[in-house]
Structure 1
Amino acid sequence: SCRSGWRGKAPAVGRSRLSGVRSTVGSMLQIHTEHSMERLAGAFIEVVRTPLPDPFEVEWVGIPSPGLRDWLEIQCSTSLGAAPGATDGIAANIHFGFVGELRRALLSQGGNDWHQNDPWHPDRLVWAVAETLAAAPARSSRGAHPAALEIVPAMQEGQTSLFGAATRFSKLLARYVTDRPAMLCRWAVGDFCDAQGAPLRPDARWQAELFLAVRERLGIASPAELLDSALNEGRLNEQACGLPQRLSLFGFTTLVGANSLLAQLDALALSREVHLFMWEPSSGLAQWGRSSGTERGAHMRTTERQSFGVKREVLDESPVLPLLRSWGRPALEAAQLLSIVAPQDAVSLRVPDIEDLSGASLLKILQASVNRAMVAPAPSIPRASADGSVVIHECHGQIRQVEVVRDQILSILEEDSSLEESDIAVLCPDLTTYAPLIEAVFGPSASSGTLSYAQTIHGSTTVWGNANSKDSPPQLAYQIAHRHLENLNPLGGALVSLLTLLDGRCAAAQVSDFLSLAPVRKRFGLSDDDLARLSEWVQECSINWGLSAQHRSHWLGVDTYSPGSWAGAVQRLLAGIALCSSPDQLGFGGIAPIDVEGSDIALAGRFAEILELLELAAQQSSAPMGIDRWVPLVRSLLGTFFDIPVDQQWQMSSLLGMLASIERDSRGGSPDASSSVLGESVTPTCQATLALIELRTFLGAQLSGTSSGGRLFRGGITVSSLAALRGVPFQVIFLLGCDEEALRAGSGEADDLIVSSPMIGDRDRRSDLRQSLLEAVMSAREQLVVTRTGWNRVNNHPVPMPAALAELADTCAGLLGGADPAQLNGSLLQTHPCNSFDPANFRTPRQSFDPVALNGAMVAAGQRSEAPPVLSRPLAPELDLRTVELVDLIRTLQSPPQAFLSKRLGLHIGPTTAESAEDEIPISLDSLGKWSLGDRLLQTRLRGAAADDLEAIEAASGRLPPGSFGSAAVAAESELVTSLLDCARSQGIDWGLSEALVIECALDPTTTLFGSVTVIPSPGRWGPVQVGVGKLKGKRILQAWVDLLALTATQAPRAERCVAILIGKSASSSKAQPVERRLIELRESSDPRGLARGALVELVALYRWAHCDVVPIFSETSYSLSPLGKGDSEAQKAWLSTGPGFAYGDRLDPATMLAFGDLEFEELMELETRDEDFAQFGISPGTAIGSPTRATFYSRLLWGIFDRSCVLTDDLEALAKKPAKKAAKKSASQRSSGSAYG
């Protein structure tokens, strides 16, 4: 029985003094309609101003969104109990809830709380469906219910898993409960019909069969059946004894499941006061809808319109504004439903107000046109003018849109000092994408300790900048509401990353990214230096993917291949702690150790711990299991891999609460196994198993839910999704991100019977999205600002306007006189420059408030000039260059820019891009990999080690492709190495006779050259020998030449001839001649030592100058420009060569790019010589060596010294037979045919 305070009927309200309200005659169900949300709130306040019989009874108010709840609560608090003309009211004992709470309250009776124990709640229903499908295969297909694979067609075709099918069907059932309760009632008695009451198609019968199976497993009828039974038996009021005596539903534009909902409200209204406050964005459209609905309802059977509803009709020919035909379907159908289904005396027939629109803004005229559903021009709708009240901004990309929104807000606040940030709302169709961009562009919200921009400019004549910072845009106060839980809780995102990692191959990049997450770093104490060292180990260990060989077996099919896995890397690091690495042999157990010393030992231990825990977690989560085992495992993973600061422990509490809720839902909603609902037992736990990918998807969906993030309207700009603030009025509304991707509704669920058989009032994504846009347009009071991507940021091509936005633009253009929207650029449409620092943003009227962008614009608008050189003039000579190391001399001559920047300026020149780890096991080696392998093979052979041992070492290190692919690579490079060594032996070179000779040579009284040169004697010759797997290019030739000069200048000859021999890979890549041989010998001279000393003196002079100025000598390009090379065509290739997947050349050297910029070859050849270049070496510009271009000048200068001192030939046998004098003549003839040195 009800309490005494609830007995009796409340007095009839009668017709309100607000024109939009009309009362019922026999029932207390009253429907209020208004075009203005403020007036609708006034009608609601007038109702609740009348106290309930019991002063302690709660006022229950149903709302469609949390944003409208907060707004209505503020309206009540400023009116209820306030003194006349004041806003000092108070609102208390008002409960705001959603319509679903009303249904669950009606189902609760006898002490059973459907709010907590509703087995048909979507979060709990999914487990019942999953368990039903899991148990179905155990039954005979001829039994009461077919097997699971025969029930769900998508499972037969392999399109979804068992839990995926359960998730999809549970969502369908949840929609059917609210939108098609009559269909479920007929299914329950074996009458299989579709969403319009017609016989169900054979291919859709599985839904009815699965519904019956789930119903049987739950042991309780669906809410649709229970409510229908209570309505038919007149027991609904008895079941509603827990509800207060007055119920209100406020701010709805559409009614979900209108037939059932209105029937429930009508039944409740027999014993209590029930109010439905409907907001009609277009009163004219609603009036037309009510008229058409009344006409249709008069010819329909009552049972039809109260069960399944009314079939949807086409609106294309309706006599309304074209914009409303696309944007107003839900509102129109709501009006039709009210006139068809609801009692006729309960609906107010509101006539739109006729207000004077002369001098009104475009926004006001647009809203009036929508409200009256009239097509302009009309007698009551004048022509509008483009006054900036409605503007569509076209930008280049998403970030630029956010920047424009920020600048437009600042401009609006500057122009109207009466506005505050709280009067502005930014609504995003895709808030998930734009929320982080807003935080990045807007910066931190103005807190209580700082002044926001609006507070700064009020009462001040200075509006530029911000009191808080002069180096950033003015600070705004804002709040982002209703974000995804994953964005609000970083620990949730880290958990999803961990589950994604365990469900995948654990690629090098994925694990590295996971280790860089803040909760993981805190848990394992990883600093920035630690992460950098781990990145180096990833490269050194050649890690690609896979925790271990066992972990890889799922993809490879074998569990024996460990190189390149994380476990293989850990073994190598731990072995390197105890053993010294050797290039010629493996450690114990066939492991190739990596040296680990000092503080890296502790880091290696933590690294091993992390990977061991990952391996254990991957093993524990590899097999499908029930949710009762998954939840404890996920809890364990949270404690194992994550740690957060004390002040952020709410993140862990939130996740643990979510897991507890999931565990409770899997038991049917009860915290214990013995729970029951309405006297029926509920399955204590779900026996269905989930794979890791299904759990990850499920938890990701849970974390993708939205949270209000606290109460709104606490000051500052409100940033929210479209749905969260539907109908809430603001002075200025921004629609951010109105792009095709965000406004594309997409298709509905293919198995949804409602989609295939729609009725009036049914929800669909396209109509709901456009209805929310309409509500946003009608909620703006002063300005409506829309932004979209109008230009592709990559190619600057125009982007077509989305269809929904084009409809708005066309409507506004019609109000402006029927012009094409494209002709209204600058008024209705505004195009913004691609970049925020474009000078156009700072012309009158100013479009930007960013001081940093202003500085960029000032630079961009100034006189353009070429980038200044690294040096405006050469530096003074270094004081201490009396001793010159031979190795330093060679390195400087090979790359003077590198030497100058590092030696003289002290700059560390690293690689242009960090080498990234490979995520695939290679089956072949690239060019660099082949060279590295060949070089290691060559060095191994020169040390006398076996090639087989090297192959084992290479395989153990992960540098080789697996199996036969690696063996083939080793065989190919071994063949080249063998050819190189055979060539060396054919010249009588014996590596066992090599000797390192000390070089110490006084070139002049102030300069001493010292170092060492390794020589190998051969029959009749001795000198340095170079054998390498690379081609014989300028870099190697220069090194052998300088070694030969140093050797000749300091050592007494030990054989008839002193020569340098170079052996390398053939440039022609001919199989018949795989290697190439070259020899460098001093020119014939009566004083060879003097000739060598003279050449070294010239080289040291060039060496010293390279420490004073940036000298344009490049190892390969300069060699190609010399007569020893092949001319400009070859030099151009040496400067830069590109192709599919590769790019190399002197131009890409980091030091070259820093010293000279990113020059094209033509630009390099246009660098003019300077007076200092000639004066430093005493050369006249008129001589042959005095080239007008610096690159050619220094090429001739360096390699001219070579030509005057040595001879280069590629025919060792011929040279051995002829004297050096003839070779010198041949070289001279080459000089005369090429560019002379002078």
Structure 2
Amino acid sequence: MLLLYQSNRIEVLADALAEAMRAQPAAALVPETVVVQSSAMARWLSFALAERLGVAANVDFRFPASYIWSLFGSVLPEVAPQSPFEPEVLRWTFLRLLEDDEDLPRQPRLAHYLREADARQRYELACRLAEVYDRYLVYRPDWIAAWSEERLLGLGPDEAWQALLWRRAAPEAAAPHPREQFYAAIDSDPAARARLPRTLHLFAITALPPMYLDVFARLAAHVDVHLYALNPCREYWGDIVRRRVLARQAAGEAAPAPYAEVGNSLLASLGLHGCSFFDALAELQAHQIERYVAPQSDTLLATLQRDILELRERGEAGVPRARVEPQDDSLQVHVCHGPLREVEVLHDRLLDAFERDPTLQPGEVLVLVPQLERYAPAIEAVFATAPEHLRIPYSIADRGLVRESAVVRAFAALLDAPQGRMETESVLALLEHAPIAARYGIDADALAQLRAWLRETGVRWGYDESARAALGLPATREHTWRAGLDRLLLGYALPGESLYDYAGVLPYGDVEGSEAVLAGRLQSFVEALHQHAEESQRTRTFEAWRLHTDRLLGEFFALDETQETEAQRLRAAAQAL
């Protein structure tokens, strides 16, 4: 059975989920599966369930696409553990075809690009194509089916080469999608139905491709599927349109839609994406459970929420405009000159809110940001550096792995290093990454000392004269790392400050006592980095890259418990190749 819970409050949906779990508890060692759309929602929901159930353990949070594929695999033994349709897999299939296939470069629309593209550009094209075909598989499965049967649909000049590319893809990718086999199995085979989950929860899903929604609907014919939908309006709002569209229809510029109305202009303007999803939900044979909560206050924000809930438009017949009290600050607009200032104002407003309402907790505050990567540095600059008595606990959800993890950022910088010429600052910049600095025992004071030494010994760029010669430049040793390191180490070895060179090296006289340890650490780091640059020129298989990743993590990184978890994500990414 499909049970559709609808509410305008996510807390109420969390209550409903907790009640359903309490009413039908899973076996002790069987995980409760909850499908969500983001890791941020999974994190919030895990805390919400813990508050309501006392303990939230053995809850398996999954994303729609990966869960559906694993569902196919649980019923159909021949389905591969990892979907060949995933972009992470398709990109490599497409890259191989773009490089090796004989017919693809002859396609006029591809020929010019492939003729001029280098390896990186072909890889970027393969990645982009993988994303496009991923959407085709979800939203245009009829196109994929036609192309697999060598039929063209007259879709434009790019269809021919896209159809050819799909047919040339690996047999496991170009094979028919297992969806229909899955349907046939669960409809006719009791043994297949026995492998289905006992129950499934879909929480706060705001949009699903038709294919995914169809899979869950077919699954609901055999097991209980609970779908918790965050719906701002209790009325049917599939017919509402924007005022601009109504005006165009009245002027004859657009075809009139039957039963079209404004309803609520804010919902009509901003809710188009959700409208189509709730339209699709309305067509399902589902048991409806409505738990809407009308806002009780008379603030401007509550009035807007209530009007959307009731599909009401202010200013129309019988609905007077709301009066806004001067002291009403429930809805605020702040005009700022940049992201940093926006975050500073946000921080100030939050402090004010906590002061006015002592019961308000940081965990009850959600900040939505349209371009998270643009604002994340400003968020960290403001929230992380506030004085202790003004500091607000915070976390940034759904950041990309490279942005989120200090280990991954350091590893990415290490991989980029061989592309440069070992300039002094680029090498020292690697030691500003905490995991690398910890491995070589170099703190901020030691790094400042190294900068002074390198400046005074004249190190500029290049490991040695051979490295410069490899770039087609004069094979001079002056101002290389090897020349500078020799000066540092010889300066410590010779007594006092020598005015004469030794074997062609002028000693540097300011390295004394325990400072020799720091010079030795710099020597070890530079030697390892040079070796890394040499080895990076080799071509490797994916398995060799996995082993190389392990070696680099062991050689260049010192990791605490948290960082080791981050490193495991790197190893998993290398293993996935």
Q: TM-score range by the shorter chain?
A: 0.7 to 0.9
The answer on whether the counterparts of 1:250 and 1:278 sit within 8 Å (CA) in structure 2 is yes
The 5-angstrom pairing of residues 712-1111 of structure 1 reads none
Deviation at 1:619, TM superposition (A): 0.9
Q: 1:622 to 1:334 in 2, by over 3 A?
A: same
**1:210 matched residue in structure 2:** 165
Deviation at 1:536, TM superposition (A): 2.6
Aligned residues: 556
**1:170 matched residue in structure 2:** 130
**In structure 2, distance between residues paired with 1:76 and 1:597:** 60
Q: Which amino acid aligns with 1:225?
A: H
Q: Which amino acid aligns with 2:267?
A: L
**In structure 1, distance between residues paired with 2:173 and 2:384:** 53
SS at match of 1:249: strand
Structure richer in helix, relative to its length: 2
**2:178 matched residue in structure 1:** 226
**In structure 2, distance between residues paired with 1:356 and 1:578:** 79
Structure richer in strand, relative to its length: 1
Deviation at 1:391, TM superposition (A): 1.0
**In structure 1, distance between residues paired with 2:551 and 2:545:** 10
Which region of structure 1 is more displaced relative to structure 2, 611-620 or 421-430? 421-430
Deviation at 1:651, TM superposition (A): 1.6
Q: 1:210 to 1:398 in 2, by over 3 A?
A: same
Q: Does residue 1:288 correspond to 2:239, yes or no? A: yes
* TM-score, normalisation: structure 1: 0.40
**1:204-263 deviations in Å (ceiling 9; x for gaps):** 4333322222232xx4555x62113444787587655422243332322222x21x2233
The answer on whether the counterparts of 2:264 and 2:308 sit within 8 Å (CA) in structure 1 is yes
**In structure 1, distance between residues paired with 2:489 and 2:58:** 66
**1:83-139 deviations in Å (ceiling 9; x for gaps):** xxxxx7777776443322441233215784968443433333433333444443xxx
Q: 1:614 to 1:523 in 2, by over 3 A?
A: same
**In structure 2, distance between residues paired with 1:633 and 1:322:** 57
**In structure 2, distance between residues paired with 1:74 and 1:650:** 20
Q: Does residue 1:367 correspond to 2:305, yes or no? A: yes
**In structure 1, distance between residues paired with 2:110 and 2:413:** 34
**1:425 matched residue in structure 2:** 366
Q: Does residue 1:261 correspond to 2:216, yes or no? A: no
Deviation at 1:383, TM superposition (A): 1.3
**1:498 matched residue in structure 2:** 414
**2:197 matched residue in structure 1:** 244
**In structure 1, distance between residues paired with 2:206 and 2:164:** 35
**In structure 1, distance between residues paired with 2:14 and 2:432:** 50
**1:1195-1225 deviations in Å (ceiling 9; x for gaps):** xxxxxxxxxxxxxxxxxxxxxxxxxxxxxxx
**1:710-729 deviations in Å (ceiling 9; x for gaps):** xxxxxxxxxxxxxxxxxxxx
**In structure 2, distance between residues paired with 1:61 and 1:115:** 23
**In structure 1, distance between residues paired with 2:6 and 2:308:** 16
Q: 1:157 to 1:327 in 2, by over 3 A?
A: farther
Q: 1:233 to 1:368 in 2, by over 3 A?
A: same
Of 555, 563, 567, 1:640 maps to 555
**1:542 matched residue in structure 2:** 458
Of 63, 68, 71, 1:98 maps to 63
Q: Does residue 1:658 correspond to 2:565, yes or no? A: no
Deviation at 1:499, TM superposition (A): 1.7
Q: Does residue 1:126 correspond to 2:81, yes or no? A: no
Structure 1 portions without partners, runs of 5+ = 1-27, 80-87, 194-198, 291-311, 446-470, 667-1238
Deviation at 1:330, TM superposition (A): 0.8
Deviation at 1:367, TM superposition (A): 1.5
SS at match of 1:425: coil
The answer on whether the counterparts of 1:36 and 1:279 sit within 8 Å (CA) in structure 2 is yes
SS at match of 1:270: coil
Q: 1:124 to 1:665 in 2, by over 3 A?
A: farther
Q: Does residue 1:63 correspond to 2:36, yes or no? A: yes
**1:158 matched residue in structure 2:** 117
Q: Which amino acid aligns with 2:115?
A: Q
Deviation at 1:46, TM superposition (A): 6.1
Q: Which amino acid aligns with 2:564?
A: M
Deviation at 1:621, TM superposition (A): 0.3
SS at match of 1:252: coil
The answer on whether the counterparts of 1:289 and 1:335 sit within 8 Å (CA) in structure 2 is no
Deviation at 1:444, TM superposition (A): 8.0
Aligned identity (percent) is 26
Deviation at 1:347, TM superposition (A): 8.2
**1:150-171 deviations in Å (ceiling 9; x for gaps):** 8576443427533323322223
The 5-angstrom pairing of residues 330-341 of structure 1 reads 330-338=273-281
* TM-score, normalisation: structure 2: 0.80
Q: Which amino acid aligns with 1:370?
A: I
**1:376 matched residue in structure 2:** 314
**1:728 matched residue in structure 2:** none
**1:22-52 deviations in Å (ceiling 9; x for gaps):** xxxxxx3444444343454555566556548
**1:784-815 deviations in Å (ceiling 9; x for gaps):** xxxxxxxxxxxxxxxxxxxxxxxxxxxxxxxx
The answer on whether the counterparts of 1:187 and 1:212 sit within 8 Å (CA) in structure 2 is yes
Q: 1:658 to 1:74 in 2, by over 3 A?
A: closer
SS at match of 1:286: coil
Q: Which amino acid aligns with 1:622?
A: Q
**2:249 matched residue in structure 1:** none
**2:228 matched residue in structure 1:** 277
The answer on whether the counterparts of 1:247 and 1:274 sit within 8 Å (CA) in structure 2 is yes
Q: Does residue 1:200 correspond to 2:155, yes or no? A: yes
**CA RMSD for the aligned pairs?**
4.3
**1:512 matched residue in structure 2:** 428
Q: Which amino acid aligns with 1:205?
A: A
SS at match of 1:610: helix
**1:881-920 deviations in Å (ceiling 9; x for gaps):** xxxxxxxxxxxxxxxxxxxxxxxxxxxxxxxxxxxxxxxx
Q: Which amino acid aligns with 1:254?
A: A
**In structure 2, distance between residues paired with 1:221 and 1:240:** 27
Q: 1:546 to 1:49 in 2, by over 3 A?
A: same
**In structure 2, distance between residues paired with 1:534 and 1:611:** 12
Q: Which amino acid aligns with 1:665?
A: A
The answer on whether the counterparts of 2:34 and 2:62 sit within 8 Å (CA) in structure 1 is yes
**In structure 1, distance between residues paired with 2:10 and 2:451:** 58
The 5-angstrom pairing of residues 400-415 of structure 1 reads 400-415=341-356
The 5-angstrom pairing of residues 613-652 of structure 1 reads 613-644=528-559, 648-652=560-564
Q: Which amino acid aligns with 1:328?
A: G
**1:979 matched residue in structure 2:** none
The 5-angstrom pairing of residues 300-339 of structure 1 reads 319-338=262-281
**In structure 2, distance between residues paired with 1:638 and 1:351:** 51
Of 125, 143, 146, 1:186 maps to 146
SS at match of 1:276: strand
Q: Which amino acid aligns with 2:460?
A: N
Q: 1:113 to 1:230 in 2, by over 3 A?
A: closer
Structure 2 portions without partners, runs of 5+ = 242-254
Q: Which amino acid aligns with 2:569?
A: M
Q: 1:389 to 1:134 in 2, by over 3 A?
A: same
SS at match of 1:248: strand
**1:1025-1068 deviations in Å (ceiling 9; x for gaps):** xxxxxxxxxxxxxxxxxxxxxxxxxxxxxxxxxxxxxxxxxxxx
SS at match of 1:278: strand
The answer on whether the counterparts of 1:548 and 1:562 sit within 8 Å (CA) in structure 2 is yes
Larger Rg: 1
**In structure 2, distance between residues paired with 1:653 and 1:61:** 24
SS at match of 1:274: strand
Deviation at 1:336, TM superposition (A): 3.4
Deviation at 1:388, TM superposition (A): 0.4
SS at match of 1:427: coil
